[in-house]
């Protein structure tokens, strides 16, 4: 018989609706039951595409005996971390405090009835293995501790509460962080850089787009050759590895090895949006065809598999299909040989590595770019044109056969923040790479969010099957404001500017810490939780504070609005200690610092629409990281600060901060 999760909309919660566990969603009913019955809470946080979440669900939550222990001893609450990042953020921090180790998913927390954590872990098995205790035994011991050693538990809770409070940043007297931090960050990245495979860590390796965006920004900002080389080398290695879906496009979450060859196979929208931005910029900087192809394949995957019929983009694809991680993606050489002609197989096996020892379990192969097409043609004594034709035919056949397999599950909710990250990446790539169809798709997604997740001057966080829900978070507002600024540079729309101003005003009124500066993750009228984080470090997604400060600063320069500029500077000051101590952990805030030291260059174009499109297309791939380009065709209404006289020929106005140059009427004078 289904439990209470059966009425939820989250795909992750619905995955657990038939468990024998008496699950509750997070809410008053569960919290009041814990108080009323004086029972601790077993809080389980995960997400629908998570492989180890599936393993624990199958091993423990689907087992009647394990469920009986859970139901007898605890009030059991299941949370989708993608819908409730506020809860996930708090209890991941608590996990680190209690265990002195990094967290992850599934996150397994034991709480007092007043929501304070007193024991933490991640995955636990039904029987002892992996040097982990059996979950039923662990639960019995925890319940016994709650019953017999409550004083110790409550004392520890006070220590945890104090430690969580101490994590909040405090504003300094003045902004001490300066130009030297950029060099320090590059040096720190160089110390961690893997010169063989790229990236900045041992296995497992995560893409971490914010770090690479910083390095590309630094390469353009200060002509830093080492920053450029580290970023482009890493992007090439990622694009050549199995973490990129070589047949279908897009990137998986991370690689379990140092070579980017074998991923955890889930594909997340929030990774692919910033990665698209990166690959477009890498192509513009280097002209490398691999970067262009990677971006084009990513968008192909997005538009084919992640577009919702009513608009916007779905959240994720699962790692598993038919109960096995990666089964949808991997091959045996015999499967490939049977499908392709001899000539096709020779090229495909050389390029994708099917002629090498298997790189995945059960003698299977996850395709990588083991050899460039030019080298493959040379080895096989083929012309480049013939090799390219054979590879393209092979890829189409392999993809078509793969499409007949059982596909991984898709998380079909649409999250405001993740949609905003993809919109920003898609519209930026469309502008840089001259793809107006990508820009159209991004702006259609903006319209979807405006129509469905903007209610009475406030955002909602999640949408599924016609229903928008959940009070939005800092990331929703900040990422969407940033996406609107990107979109207006690709195709100015008056409604986007009006919405950007509303979002900015709500950020200030509902999220800013008016005492210390910076922005809380939850709004002032959000549900009260055990702490209220104010995150500054970049993680899998960029820092909400960093993006809020960056977007507010840019909007402030565009509009001449001091409120936005001052809020951005207050945010920068409150995180200055973190910036000085560990700049590589705050690449988004480093971009804010950069544009506080040297304001962006604003280029406003005015004139006939067709001519402005030509100018914009020429300028877009050549612009610097501090440049903002707005093309305002004759007849376009715009804020007073951007208003320029109409002209029968294209004219450009360029301003740095409050200093503006005379109008320019020749395109050659603008090309950098």
Tokens of 621: 């791939």
Of 440, 416, 411, 445, which is closest to residue 541 (Cα–Cα)?
Answer: 416
Tell me the mean pLDDT in the region 97-105: 91
Cβ–Cβ < 8 Å for 301, 435: no
Residues 204 and 241 occupy one common structural domain = yes
- 78 strand-pairing partners: 25, 44
User: What letter does residue 662 receive in the DSSP assignment?
Assistant: P
- 630 strand-pairing partners: 604
Tokens of 139: 């639960």
Predicted confidence at residue 668, as pLDDT, reads: 83
Tell me the mean pLDDT in the region 10-25: 97
Residues 161 and 190 occupy one common structural domain = no
Residues 499 and 561 occupy one common structural domain = yes
**Is 621 inside any structural domain?**
yes
Tokens of 399: 């993809």
Give the domain range for residue 60. Answer: 4-166
Tell me the mean pLDDT in the region 562-578: 96
d(CA 107, CA 99): 12
Tokens of 205: 């390796």
Residues 398 and 415 occupy one common structural domain = no
Residues contacting 104, CB < 8 A, separation 6+: 52, 122
Cβ–Cβ < 8 Å for 237, 369: no
Tokens of 50: 């998570």
φ/ψ of 632, rounded to 5, equals: -115, 95
Which CATH number does the domain housing residue 338 bear? 1.10.10
Predicted confidence at residue 172, as pLDDT, reads: 63
Of 244, 228, 241, which is closest to residue 286 (Cα–Cα)?
Answer: 228
d(CA 160, CA 110): 13
Q: Is the pLDDT of residue 22 over 60?
A: yes
DSSP secondary structure, 195-256, as one string: TTT-SSSSSSB---HHHHHHHHHHHHHH--HHHHHHHHHHHHHHHHSTTB-TTT-SB-SEES
Q: For residue range 247-278, what is the model confidence (pLDDT) as tens digits? A: 999 999 999 999 999 999 999 999 999 999 99
Of 254, 266, 356, which is closest to residue 314 (Cα–Cα)?
Answer: 266
Predicted confidence at residue 174, as pLDDT, reads: 58
Reported as a pLDDT band with limits 50, 70 and 90, residue 656 is: confident
**Is 560 inside any structural domain?**
yes
Q: How many angstroms separate the first and last alpha carbons of the chain? A: 67
Q: What angle do CA 570, 575, 577 make, to 5 degrees?
A: 130
| DSSP H or E segment with residue 75 | strand 75-80
Decide which of 112, 136, 166 is a domain's last residue: 166
Pairing of strands 454-455, 414-415: unpaired
Q: Is the pLDDT of residue 347 over 70?
A: yes
Residues contacting 563, CB < 8 A, separation 6+: 508, 556
φ/ψ of 231, rounded to 5, equals: -65, -50
Q: For residue range 113-166, what is the model confidence (pLDDT) as tens digits? A: 999 999 999 999 999 998 899 999 999 999 999 999 999 999 999 999 989 888
Cβ–Cβ < 8 Å for 439, 347: no
Of 502, 550, 512, 546, which is closest to residue 532 (Cα–Cα)?
Answer: 512
- 602 strand-pairing partners: 628, 655
**Is 235 inside any structural domain?**
yes
Decide which of 110, 133, 166 is a domain's last residue: 166
Predicted confidence at residue 166, as pLDDT, reads: 83
DSSP secondary structure, 601-619, as one string: EEEEEEE-HHHHHHHHHHH
As to burial, measured by CB atoms within 10 angstroms (0-12 exposed, 13-18 middle, 19+ buried), residue 648 is exposed
Reported as a pLDDT band with limits 50, 70 and 90, residue 103 is: confident
Cβ–Cβ < 8 Å for 217, 268: no
Reported as a pLDDT band with limits 50, 70 and 90, residue 437 is: very high
Tell me the mean pLDDT in the region 8-21: 97
The region that residue 418 occupies, defined by phi over 0 for left and psi between -120 and 50 for alpha, beta otherwise, is: alpha
pLDDT, averaged across the chain: 95
**Is 13 inside any structural domain?**
yes
Residues 21 and 156 occupy one common structural domain = yes
Q: What percent of the chain clears pLDDT 90, i.e. is strictly above it?
A: 90
**Is 578 inside any structural domain?**
yes
Tell me the mean pLDDT in the region 586-611: 95
d(CA 487, CA 436): 12
Q: In what order do the strands lie in the sheet with 651-656?
A: 627-633, 601-607, 651-656, 659-660
Helices marked H in 241-288 — which ranges? 269-286
Cβ–Cβ < 8 Å for 291, 282: yes
Q: Look up tokens 């990588």; give the residue.
A: 368
d(CA 417, CA 270): 8
d(CA 38, CA 32): 10
3-state DSSP assignment of residue 368: coil
Residues 506 and 640 occupy one common structural domain = no
Reported as a pLDDT band with limits 50, 70 and 90, residue 659 is: confident
Which CATH number does the domain housing residue 455 bear? 1.50.10.10
**Is 307 inside any structural domain?**
yes
Cβ–Cβ < 8 Å for 216, 231: yes
Residues 302 and 344 occupy one common structural domain = no
Which CATH number does the domain housing residue 81 bear? 3.40.30.10
**Is 416 inside any structural domain?**
yes
| DSSP H or E segment with residue 455 | strand 454-455
Contacts 24+ apart (CB under 8 A), 320-327: 320/51, 320/54, 320/265, 320/408, 320/409, 321/405, 321/406, 321/407, 321/408, 321/409, 322/406, 325/51, 325/264, 325/265, 326/263, 326/265, 326/360, 326/366, 327/405, 327/406
Residues 103 and 151 occupy one common structural domain = yes
Q: Look up tokens 């662990």; give the residue.
A: 138
Predicted confidence at residue 660, as pLDDT, reads: 86
Decide which of 541, 565, 597 is a domain's last residue: 597
φ/ψ of 484, rounded to 5, equals: -65, -40
d(CA 170, CA 31): 32
Based on the structure, what is the number of domains in the chain? 4
Residues 48 and 121 occupy one common structural domain = yes
Residues 9 and 140 occupy one common structural domain = yes
> What is the total residue count of the chain?
672
Predicted confidence at residue 168, as pLDDT, reads: 81
DSSP secondary structure, 619-651, as one string: HGGG--TTEEEEEEETT----GGG-----SS-E
Q: Look up tokens 């809470």; give the residue.
A: 41
Residues 456 and 354 occupy one common structural domain = no
Pairing of strands 601-607, 467-471: unpaired
Q: What percent of the chain clears pLDDT 70, i.e. is strictly above it?
A: 99
Tell me the mean pLDDT in the region 564-588: 95
Reported as a pLDDT band with limits 50, 70 and 90, residue 169 is: confident
Reported as a pLDDT band with limits 50, 70 and 90, residue 670 is: confident
The verdict on whether omega for the bond into residue 519 sits within 30 degrees of 0, i.e. cis, is no
Residues 359 and 247 occupy one common structural domain = no
d(CA 393, CA 245): 17
Predicted confidence at residue 178, as pLDDT, reads: 79
**Is 171 inside any structural domain?**
no
């Amino acid at each position: 018989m289904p439990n209470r999760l059966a009425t939820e909309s989250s795909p992750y919660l619905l995955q657990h609706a038939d468990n024998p566990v008496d699950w509750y969603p997070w809410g008053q009913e569960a919290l009041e039951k814990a108080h009323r019955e004086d029972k601790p809470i077993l809080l389980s946080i995960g997400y629908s595409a998570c492989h180890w979440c599936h393993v624990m669900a199958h091993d423990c939550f689907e087992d009647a005996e394990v469920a009986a222990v859970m139901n007898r001893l605890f009030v059991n609450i299941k949370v989708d971390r993608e819908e409730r990042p506020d809860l996930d953020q708090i209890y991941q921090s608590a996990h680190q405090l209690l265990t002195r180790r990094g967290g992850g998913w599934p996150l397994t927390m034991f709480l007092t009835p007043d929501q304070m954590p007193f024991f933490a872990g991640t995955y636990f098995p039904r029987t002892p293995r992996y040097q982990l205790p059996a979950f039923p035994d662990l639960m019995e011991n925890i319940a016994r501790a709650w019953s017999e050693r409550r004083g110790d538990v409550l004392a520890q809770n006070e220590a945890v509460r104090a430690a969580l409070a101490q994590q909040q940043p405090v504003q300094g007297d003045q902004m001490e962080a300066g130009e030297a931090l950029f060099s320090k960050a590059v040096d720190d990245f160089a110390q961690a850089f893997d010169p063989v495979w790229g990236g900045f860590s041992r296995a497992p390796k995560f893409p971490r787009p914010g770090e690479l965006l910083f390095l590309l920004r630094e390469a353009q900002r200060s002509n830093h050759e080492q920053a450029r080389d580290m970023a482009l080398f890493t992007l090439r290695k990622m694009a050549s590895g199995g973490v990129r879906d070589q047949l279908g496009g897009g990137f998986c979450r991370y690689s379990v090895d140092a070579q980017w060859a074998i991923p955890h196979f889930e594909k997340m929208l929030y990774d692919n949006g910033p990665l698209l931005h990166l690959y477009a910029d890498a192509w513009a900087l280097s002209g490398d065809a691999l970067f262009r192809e990677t971006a084009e394949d990513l968008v192909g995957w997005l538009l084919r598999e992640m577009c919702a019929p009513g608009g916007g983009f779905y959240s994720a694809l699962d790692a598993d299909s038919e109960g096995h991680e990666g089964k949808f993606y991997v091959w045996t050489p015999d499967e490939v040989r049977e499908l392709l002609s001899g000539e096709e197989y020779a090229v495909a096996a050389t390029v994708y590595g099917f002629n090498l020892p298997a790189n995945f379990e059960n003698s299977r192969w996850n395709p990588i770019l083991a050899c460039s097409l030019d080298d493959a043609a040379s080895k096989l004594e083929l012309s480049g044109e013939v090799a390219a034709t054979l590879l393209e035919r092979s890829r189409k056949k392999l993809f078509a056969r793969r499409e007949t397999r059982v596909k991984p599950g898709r998380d079909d909710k649409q999250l405001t923040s993740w949609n905003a990250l993809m919109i920003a990446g898609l519209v930026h790539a469309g502008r840089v790479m001259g793809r107006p169809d990508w820009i159209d798709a991004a702006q259609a997604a903006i319209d979807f969010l405006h129509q469905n997740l903007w209610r009475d001057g406030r955002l909602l966080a999640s949408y599924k099957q016609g229903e928008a829900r959940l009070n939005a978070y800092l990331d929703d507002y900040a990422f969407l404001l940033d996406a609107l600024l990107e979109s207006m540079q690709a195709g100015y729309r008056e409604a986007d500017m009006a919405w950007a101003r509303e979002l900015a005003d709500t950020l200030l009124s509902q999220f800013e810490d008016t005492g210390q500066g910076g922005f809380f993750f939850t709004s002032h009228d959000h549900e009260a939780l055990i702490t209220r984080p104010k995150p500054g470090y970049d993680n899998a997604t960029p820092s909400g504070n960093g993006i809020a400060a960056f977007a507010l600063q840019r909007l402030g320069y565009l509009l001449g609005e001091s409120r936005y500029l001052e809020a951005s500077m207050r945010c920068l000051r409150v995180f200055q200690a973190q910036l000085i101590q560990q700049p590589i952990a705050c690449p988004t805030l480093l971009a804010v610092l950069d544009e506080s030291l040297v304001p962006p260059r604003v280029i406003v174009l005015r004139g006939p629409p067709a001519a402005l499109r030509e100018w914009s297309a020429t300028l877009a791939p050549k612009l610097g990281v501090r440049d903002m380009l707005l093309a305002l065709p004759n007849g376009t209404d715009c804020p007073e600060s951007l208003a320029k006289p109409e002209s029968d020929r294209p004219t450009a106005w360029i301003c740095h901060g409050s200093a503006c140059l005379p109008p320019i009427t020749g395109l050659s004078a603008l090309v950098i």
